[in-house]
């Protein structure tokens, strides 16, 4: 039995005596009737104590020992010797890959100490657990610690999946031969990596929601149930990111026993110890246990077992529990003599315990995460565990085996080893290469028919193939034709509705589609009612793995809160990050589950890109597809909510993501055209892209779609209303609800000032700019050929006069077009902080109302000598546009 309690060694008082008797009685119950009865007894005592008003503390920590006692371990099933040799070769090649590159190309970077701490944790998985397939079904999903990528490459190199040429081009991606990306990037190595993980915290969060999404797909019968697991390898430093731990309770709430976190507790992060003055393992144990996870600690290797067995008083454990992580790190850094003096030396009994061991043996006493036997047993328990997710807290040494770089604060940044360290590495891990090759950091590949290669390939064959790989199945998708969106194209027949309402009706229609309806995944972060989505909740239900265990108070109402086991909506609660993780799981299901699902993540646009931008970036890297829908958009259209809610910049942020196609539609038919074409491109033409669409809550009549505007909608601009009074002398661009202001301005100009203007709907400045940039590039690269014209110039060909562009977004959005236009356009936008007020006041404040647009037109015409300057100045006063107030951009 583990020395769980610190037994009072000397019984000096009556109380000591009494405690000894209680403990003895307890031991008897456990010995005679088993641990469960022991637990029952304790629980009964705790209840009794609480009834009696005794303040019983809640303990979430177990002793600083392995969760699985040695007596309960099963033997290791593999060939330990051979696996060690294989692991050593991988260690070597991983290190050599980084070392060589940094010698050749100083500063190119890479990491050697992280993988060295992780090698056993990964290798036991690769040899015995990570399944690449379950029969015909896809296999486990593994989120690797991003900066341990050299180790993953080194294994793939031995497996024959990466060539020597590729490995030699680690971090050289632009040199002809396909190089290896620094970190896991599906965008860059699309047949290898699945999950971008290197931005700390995103891997664990995405893994958690991936596990839930897998169950969602199973419960909705979109995939077969399999024993598939999701493994997430996480750094202990990485757990400081709120994304890592912030959503843990989802795992226990949803009983995600398909999920295993392995936290590589090497006690260090980049700068130094993770918890120098504390114990990260204890902190994480309490955190995960408190969140309802199954916690398995892998603290000490087998060589500690006899010491624990010989220590009858629990003093060894006591000494371990006294040490803070900073000391544990120093012990590893300073070696055996220091450990004897400072660790064991504190108590004479402990010194005696290890008197038969040399300093070297003391130094080598293994941490659990480096002992395949301990790791295997932990993994076995984890995969067999049911009812909750499991976290394995594996204690390791950063820079394990790197000699003088082991457990040093600077080890994370170590890129090269000195000649002597290379030789020592070679000796320590028995790398069969000559000394001189070792000093060159040469790669080592055993012969094709070597025992090592045969063994590792055979293990992978047994486990269904190689990992990681990202293979795409050929999938069929029936995009509904544009005719099927007829309701959205027909307009609202004079009824005032918002684009949000129009979108919700469209989504309801899509959900009814006999072919693809079931593939739609609506995701909402507790904003369904804000967007009027109650009808969708009623229509397809909220996914609830337990069904609905209560009678909702509103069940008599038409639109009651309906939760179902096979519900379709992912109602995530107030977590944009979690919702984005679900969006990522769904948006990549085509590659991870061979099932296309079409996510529509509808959220408060302000809380999108600026809040969870890094997750969006990783989504794009993962070749995610789907629709991000930023509702309650627009700094002046969202009334009342003020500074922290009114979004006037998400389109700027959207423009930074290469695969994001962002649209700011004014009318529902525009949305229909964008969504229909988007589905066709993403799922039929297999284009790696996704969409961002802003929606507004301002009600106005939705016109019927004019003829021939589809291409313009998709490319970014079309003429919406021509001047009714002769050839226009000024052009008005409008987007979103501000298009209506442009139309009003057109009327003011015509009626009051006899100025003819055309009005254009600009659905996407971002798309127009992208097209212009790529045309310009082509022209630059082909000076001898006749230049091509960007779409924007073709679209407005023949349109005369200056351009006034008004938007509910920042001026930089329309400004994007300036380089290609005859003259700089006049941008009216919403730079600055929002305010609480109604739309009329907001638009006046930000100078994007019809009057501001009309006066801007007169003003620029006056500058061009096409309108009387004094009359233009007077117009500001007549139309109520303040000329001497402060600029709202700085107000």
Ligand X SMILES: Cc1ncc(C[n+]2csc(CCOP(=O)(O)OP(=O)(O)O)c2C)c(N)n1
List 66, 166, 264, 373, residue binding ligand X (CB under 6 A)? 264
Please list, in sequence order, all residues whose beta carbon lies within 8 angstroms of the beta carbon of residue 584, skipping any fewer than 6 positions away. 206, 209, 210, 615, 618, 619, 622, 624
**Binding of residue 488 to Mg ion (CB under 5 A):** no
Q: Work out how close the CB of 391 gets to ligand X at its nearest, in angstroms, rounded to a whole number.
A: 15
270 touches, from ligand X, Mg ion, none (C-beta below 5 to 8 Å by class): ligand X
**Interface segment toward ligand X; rule CB under 6 A; list 262-270, 349-357, 472-480, 622-630:** 262-270
Report which residue's Cβ sits closest to ligand X: 235
**Interface segment toward Mg ion; rule CB under 5 A; list 260-268, 319-327, 558-566, 873-881:** 260-268
User: What is the CA 310 to chain-centroid distance, rounded?
Assistant: 47
Two tokens, residue 2: 């583990």
| Separation CA 506–CA 487 (nearest Å) | 8
Pair type for strands 137-138 and 660-663: unpaired
| Separation CA 766–CA 869 (nearest Å) | 34
**Binding of residue 114 to ligand X (CB under 6 A):** yes
**Residues 159-198, mask of contacts with ligand X (x by CB under 6 A):** ---------------------------------------x
List 269, 374, 623, 625, residue binding ligand X (CB under 6 A)? 269
238 touches, from Mg ion, ligand X, none (C-beta below 5 to 8 Å by class): ligand X
**Binding of residue 199 to ligand X (CB under 6 A):** yes
DSSP state of 263: E
Nearest to 703 by CA among 485, 501, 488: 488
| Separation CA 685–CA 412 (nearest Å) | 43
Of 691-730, binders to ligand X (CB under 6 A) are: none
Two tokens, residue 311: 């220590």
List 19, 41, 188, 270, residue binding ligand X (CB under 6 A)? 270
Q: Which is nearer to ligand X, 108 or 270 (CB)?
A: 270
459 touches, from ligand X, Mg ion, none (C-beta below 5 to 8 Å by class): none
Residues 663 and 763 sit within 8 Å (Cβ to Cβ):
yes
**Interface segment toward ligand X; rule CB under 6 A; list 261-269, 337-345, 548-556, 682-690:** 261-269
199 touches, from Mg ion, ligand X, none (C-beta below 5 to 8 Å by class): ligand X
Q: Which is nearer to ligand X, 87 or 651 (CB)?
A: 87
What Å distances lie between residue 492 and 502, 505, 668, CA to CA?
Answer: 9, 12, 9
**Binding of residue 73 to Mg ion (CB under 5 A):** no
232 touches, from Mg ion, ligand X, none (C-beta below 5 to 8 Å by class): none
625 touches, from Mg ion, ligand X, none (C-beta below 5 to 8 Å by class): none
**Interface segment toward ligand X; rule CB under 6 A; list 34-42, 265-273, 371-379, 618-626:** 265-273
| Separation CA 194–CA 1 (nearest Å) | 43
Residues 597 and 222 sit within 8 Å (Cβ to Cβ):
yes
**Burial class of 440 by CB neighbour count within 10 A (0 to 12, 13 to 18, 19+):** middle
**Residues 382-421, mask of contacts with ligand X (x by CB under 6 A):** ----------------x-------------x---------
DSSP state of 365: P
**Binding of residue 236 to ligand X (CB under 6 A):** yes
**Interface segment toward Mg ion; rule CB under 5 A; list 38-46, 54-62, 262-270, 624-632:** 262-270
Residues 426 and 435 sit within 8 Å (Cβ to Cβ):
yes
Task: Name 294's bridge partners.
Answer: 390
User: How many residues lie near ligand X (CB under 6 A)?
Assistant: 19
Q: Work out how close the CB of 117 gets to Mg ion at its nearest, in angstroms, rounded to a whole number.
A: 7
List 85, 87, 100, 147, residue binding ligand X (CB under 6 A)? 147
**Binding of residue 618 to ligand X (CB under 6 A):** no
Quick check: helix, strand or coil at residue 631?
strand
List 149, 268, 488, 589, residue binding ligand X (CB under 6 A)? 268
DSSP code per residue over 566-604 = T--BEE--S-HHHHHHHHHHHHTHHHHTS---EEEEEEE
DSSP code per residue over 640-664 = S--TTT--S-HHHHHTTSTTEEEE-
| Separation CA 525–CA 604 (nearest Å) | 9
Alpha helices in 229-343 (DSSP H): 242-245, 248-253, 280-290, 305-310, 315-322, 325-334, 336-338
**Interface segment toward Mg ion; rule CB under 5 A; list 149-157, 261-269, 304-312, 879-887:** 261-269
List 266, 377, 646, 723, residue binding ligand X (CB under 6 A)? 266
DSSP state of 402: -
List 140, 238, 325, 847, residue binding ligand X (CB under 6 A)? 238
Of 76-95, binders to Mg ion (CB under 5 A) are: none
- Give CA angle at 825 (824, 831), nearest 5°: 110
**Binding of residue 235 to Mg ion (CB under 5 A):** yes
**Interface segment toward ligand X; rule CB under 6 A; list 34-42, 230-238, 649-657, 850-858:** 230-238
Residues that bind ligand X (CB under 6 A): 114, 117, 145, 147, 198-200, 235-238, 264, 266, 268-270, 274, 398, 412
Residues that bind Mg ion (CB under 5 A): 235-237, 266, 268
């Amino acid at each position: 039995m583990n020395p769980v309690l610190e037994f009072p060694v000397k019984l000096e008082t009556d109380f000591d005596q009494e405690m000894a008797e209680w403990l003895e009685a307890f031991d008897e119950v456990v010995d005679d009737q088993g641990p469960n009865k022991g637990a029952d007894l304790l629980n009964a005592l705790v209840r009794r104590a609480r009834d009696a008003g005794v303040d019983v503390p809640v303990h979430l920590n177990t002793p600083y020992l392995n969760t699985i006692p040695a007596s309960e371990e099963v033997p290791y099933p593999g060939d330990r010797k051979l696996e060690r040799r294989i692991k050593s070769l991988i260690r070597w090649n991983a290190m050599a890959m980084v070392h060589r590159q940094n010698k050749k190309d100083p500063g190119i970077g890479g990491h050697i100490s992280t993988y060295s701490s992780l090698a056993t944790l990964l290798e036991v998985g690769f040899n015995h657990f990570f399944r690449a397939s379950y029969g015909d079904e896809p296999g486990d999903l593994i989120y690797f610690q991003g900066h341990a990528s050299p180790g993953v490459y080194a294994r793939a190199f031995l497996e024959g999946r990466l060539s020597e040429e590729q490995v030699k081009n680690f971090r050289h991606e632009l040199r002809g031969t396909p190089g290896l990306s620094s970190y896991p990037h599906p965008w860059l190595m699309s047949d290898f990596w699945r999950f971008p993980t290197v931005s700390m915290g995103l891997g664990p969060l995405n893994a958690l929601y991936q596990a839930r999404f897998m169950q969602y797909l199973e419960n909705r019968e979109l995939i077969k149930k399999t024993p598939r697991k999701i493994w997430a390898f996480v750094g202990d430093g990485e757990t400081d990111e709120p994304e890592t731990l912030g959503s843990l309770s989802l795992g226990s709430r949803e009983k995600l026993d398909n999920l295993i976190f392995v936290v590589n507790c090497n006690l260090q992060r980049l700068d130094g110890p993770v918890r120098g003055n504390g114990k990260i393992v204890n902190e994480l144990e309490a955190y995960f246990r408190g969140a309802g996870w199954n916690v398995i600690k892998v603290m000490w290797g087998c060589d500690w077992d006899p010491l624990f067995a010989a220590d009858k008083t629990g003093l060894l454990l006591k000494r371990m529990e006294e040490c803070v992580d900073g000391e544990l790190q120093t012990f590893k850094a300073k070696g055996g003599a220091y450990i004897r003096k400072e660790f064991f030396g504190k108590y004479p009994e402990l010194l005696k315990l290890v008197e038969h061991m040399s300093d070297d043996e003391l130094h080598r006493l293994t941490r659990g995460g480096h002992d395949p036997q301990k790791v295997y047993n932990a993994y076995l328990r984890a995969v067999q565990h049911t009812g909750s997710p499991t976290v394995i807290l594996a204690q390791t040494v950063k820079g394990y085996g790197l000699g003088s770089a082991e457990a040093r604060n600077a080890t994370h940044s170590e890129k090269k080893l000195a000649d002597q360290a290379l030789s020592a590495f070679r000796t320590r891990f028995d790398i069969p290469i000559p000394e001189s090759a070792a000093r060159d950091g040469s790669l080592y590949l055993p012969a094709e028919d070597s025992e090592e290669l045969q063994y590792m390939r055979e293990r992978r064959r047994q486990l269904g193939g190689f990992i990681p790989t990202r293979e795409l199945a050929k999938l069929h998708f029936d995009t509904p034709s544009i005719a099927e969106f007829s309701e959205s194209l027909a307009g609202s027949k004079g009824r005032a509705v918002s684009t949000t309402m129009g979108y919700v009706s469209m989504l309801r229609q899509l959900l009814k589609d006999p072919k693809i309806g079931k593939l739609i995944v609506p995701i909402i972060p507790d904003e369904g009612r804000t967007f009027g989505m109650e009808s969708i909740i009623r229509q397809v239900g909220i996914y609830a793995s337990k069904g609905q265990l209560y009678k909702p108070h509103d069940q008599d109402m038409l639109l009651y809160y309906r939760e179902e086991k096979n519900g379709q909506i992912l109602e995530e609660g107030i977590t944009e990050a979690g919702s984005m993780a679900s969006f990522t799981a769904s948006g990549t299901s085509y590659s991870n589950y061979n099932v296309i699902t079409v996510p529509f993540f509808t959220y408060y646009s302000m809380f999108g890109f600026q809040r969870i931008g890094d997750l969006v970036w990783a989504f794009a890297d993962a070749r995610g597809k789907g629709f991000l829908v930023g509702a309650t958009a627009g700094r002046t259209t969202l009334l009342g909510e003020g500074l922290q809610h009114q979004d006037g910049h998400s389109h700027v942020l959207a423009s930074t993501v290469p695969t994001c196609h962002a649209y700011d539609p004014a009318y529902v038919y525009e949305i229909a055209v964008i969504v229909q074409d988007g589905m066709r491109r993403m799922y039929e033409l297999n284009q790696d892209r996704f969409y961002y669409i802003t929606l507004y809550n301002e009600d106005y009549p939705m016109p019927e779609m004019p003829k021939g505007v589809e291409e313009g909608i998709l490319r970014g601009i079309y003429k919406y209303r021509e001047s009714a009074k002769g050839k226009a002398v000024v052009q008005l661009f409008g987007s979103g609800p501000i298009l209506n202001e442009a139309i009003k301005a057109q009327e003011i100009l015509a009626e009051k000032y006899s100025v003819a203007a055309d009005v254009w709907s600009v659905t996407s400045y971002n798309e127009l700019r992208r097209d212009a940039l790529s045309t310009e590039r082509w022209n630059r690269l082909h000076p001898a050929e006749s230049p091509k014209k960007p779409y924007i110039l073709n679209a407005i060909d023949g349109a005369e006069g200056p351009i006034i562009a008004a938007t509910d977004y920042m001026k930089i959005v329309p400004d994007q077009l300036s380089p290609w236009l005859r003259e700089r356009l006049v941008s009216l936008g919403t730079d600055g902080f929002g305010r609480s007020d109604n739309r009329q006041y907001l638009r006046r404040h930000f100078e994007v109302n019809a009057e501001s647009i009309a006066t801007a037109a007169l003003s620029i015409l006056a500058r061009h000598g096409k309108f009387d300057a004094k009359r233009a100045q007077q117009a500001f006063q007549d139309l109520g546009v303040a000329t001497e107030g402060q600029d709202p951009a700085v107000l």
